[in-house]
Structure 1
Amino acid sequence: MNLEPRTVDRIIEMAWEDRTPFEAISFQFKLKEQDVIQLMRRELKPSSFRLWRARVQGRATKHLKKRTFDKGRFKCSRQKSISNNSTSKR
């Protein structure tokens, strides 16, 4: 797997985010969960990798099938609606 440093940084950032599921990473970068784990193991310090693994292990927010809330397409519930190219106002 030969990725640009900028792409690797973005994948790491998405992997650390609690609410970004592995399916979103797969959709955007065509990497399976196991590929992300290998990338994280290779790119992070061992202690950082262990912290990350403990954090995401079994976490419902990192796996769409385990989520109990909206399983829509990777959209935050607080994200503003967009209509006619302008954001909705309060």
Structure 2
Amino acid sequence: MSKLPDLSEAAKSEVIEMALSDHIAFADIKKQHGLSEKQVKELMRENLKPGSYKAWRKRVRTFGSRREHYK
């Protein structure tokens, strides 16, 4: 996996909050924090409970297939 940059706890929390939002794309997270989609997924995997991570990934995949510019 790609190496995650050192982020403050506040920055990690902000990235997680942004990623959990259905209205913020991975591109927006990349612009603001410099993390790729792969790095965001890695951060989420490390910081969410396994069931929460799986539910989030399922939601991102489901909406992503329905909307061209989702996440």
Name the TM-score class by shorter chain: 0.7 to 0.9
Cα distance in 2 for residues equivalent to 1:43 and 1:54 = 17
> Which structure is higher in helix share?
2
Match of 1:15 among 4, 13, 19: 19
Which residue of structure 2 lines up, in the alignment, with residue 48 of structure 1? 52
> Whose relative contact order is higher, 1 or 2, with alpha carbons under 8 Å and at least 6 apart?
2
Q: CA RMSD in A?
A: 1.4
Runs of 4+ in 1 over 6 A off after TM superposition: none
> Which structure is higher in strand share?
1
Compare CA radii of gyration and give the structure with the larger one. 1
Quote the offset at 1:59 in angstroms: 2.3
- What is the number of residues matched between the two proteins? 63
